[in-house]
């Protein structure tokens, strides 16, 4: 299971790094707190962090559920795909928000698969008592 | 415990579904990323997802804590109330944001009860060593 | 481990309390849902909650990981520093957003340490099989 916790930890580091970049963009584009709008470039960095927050909230519980009911190795593998997908997403979004689709799919699909696998495993366990 | 993990998984699916509806609303109302404002109808879908994010962050850890310290069945039951409450919330909010109160209460109260139960259980366990 | 779950529960209560204050600020400053902007005082309360959401998503999994691999007592201690830091952050931000730095550091650093400790522990466990 430690392999899965490692991937989870790396996903959280990546996410916090996206947050640090928002802080940098605040200074660079002169967006003073509490504002989060007013400059389109700043908003790209902000939305990368926010969208990763929206997704990691599902990734973090889905990883150990899938690992517990299905497979530790597959959970870790799907987690690595997520990590790469989020990297592609962040680079793509900052360059051109219209081209965020590929990275989004590459990170959303692993989370969906982890979640579905975890739910199927939990249903089976409930049914078999 | 699998019953609680099942309810947790379903709550995450519901939450991701609210996110997919935001994507649909983006296209329908012509809100291009990174913007999240500019059309009141779009903002309703967006706030349903965001508010569910705000709440599910507490639900996900509170469910297993309550189940571990208090009762698996009651944890699952409160989780089901949350699921129904969030459904009522989402339907109500999109129709009229002023009428989001009932669904909000029906989903906030179960999370609060799960969290309080979990904390009371943890305090007892700490005190009794 | 119950000590760590207790601190986790208190951090979630503090976070939900910040959310309740946003509801109060909505009424006080006349910001009707779905809007989240339009009054700078309201936005301060909103950003306190949002920023705590951004951080607690990492705190919640980092606490038990650090406790499992490193130390329950140190995990709980860092969690208490986070709790105090977030309190300082919330008070500072509402008074003057430019002075949110101290409370931010006092709550971000414990989360970073918990996460790094958890990752190092997971790496060691993976390597030693």
Tell me the CA end-to-end span of chain B in Å, nearest whole number: 23
* pLDDT exceeds cutoff 90 at B129: no
C-alpha distance from C1 to closest chain A C-alpha (Å): 17
Distance CA A73, CA A76 (A): 5
CB nearest C9 (choices: B46, B100, B115): B115
Q: pLDDT at position B15, please?
A: 98
Distance in angstroms (rounded) separating the CA atoms of residues B88 and B85: 5
Distance from CA of B30 to the nearest CA of A (A): 13
Task: For chain C, give the percent of residues with pLDDT over 70.
Answer: 100
Could you tell me if A65 and B5 are in contact, meaning their C-beta atoms sit under 8 angstroms apart?
Answer: yes
For residue B119, give the nearest of C9, C15, C34 by CB distance: C9
Whether A129 shows a pLDDT value over 80: the answer reads: no
Mean pLDDT, to the nearest integer, of A52-61? 98
**Region class of C13: left (phi > 0), else alpha (psi between -120 and 50), else beta:** alpha
Is B10 within 8 Å of chain A by CB?
A: yes
- In the predicted model, is pLDDT for residue A61 greater than 90? yes
Of A40, A57, A65, the CB nearest to B5: A65
Cα–Cα dist C113/C118, whole Å: 8
Bond from prior residue into C34 cis (ω within 30 degrees of 0)? yes
Predicted confidence at residue C129, as pLDDT, reads 77
Task: List the one residue out of A84, A51, A78, A52 whose CA is nearest residue A65.
Answer: A78
Alpha carbon of C97 to those of A35, C100, C101: distances in Å?
10, 5, 9
Crossing angle, helix C40-69 and helix A40-69, to 10 degrees?
A: 30
The CA distance from A83 to A106, in Å, is 9
Residue whose pair of structure tokens reads 């987690």 in the numeric block: A79
pLDDT in tens, B12-48: 999 999 999 999 999 999 999 999 999 999 999 999 9
Strands (E), A1-129: none
Dihedral sign for Cα B1, B6, B11, B13, please.
positive
Q: Is A105 on the interface with C (CB under 8 A)?
A: no
Residue A39 dihedral angles phi and psi, to the nearest 5°: -145, 125
For residue range C50-102, what is the model confidence (pLDDT) as tens digits?
Answer: 999 999 999 999 999 999 999 999 999 999 999 999 999 999 999 999 989 99
CA distance A95 to B110: 42
Confidence of residue B110 (pLDDT cuts 50, 70, 90): very high
Q: What is the pLDDT of residue C112?
A: 98
What is the pLDDT at residue A108? 98
């Amino acid at each position: 299971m430690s392999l899965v916790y490692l991937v989870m930890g790396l996903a959280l580091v990546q996410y916090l790094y996206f947050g640090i970049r928002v802080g940098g963009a605040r200074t660079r584009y002169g967006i003073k707190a509490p504002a989060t709008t007013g400059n389109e470039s700043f908003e790209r960095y902000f939305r990368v962090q926010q969208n990763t927050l929206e997704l990691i909230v599902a990734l973090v519980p889905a990883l150990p559920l899938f690992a517990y009911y299905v497979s530790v190795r597959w959970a870790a593998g799907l987690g690595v795909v997520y990590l790469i997908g989020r990297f592609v997403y962040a680079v793509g979004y900052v360059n051109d928000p219209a081209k965020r689709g590929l990275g989004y799919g590459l990170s959303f699909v692993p989370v969906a698969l982890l979640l579905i696998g975890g739910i199927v495993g939990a249903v089976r366990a409930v049914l078999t008592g």
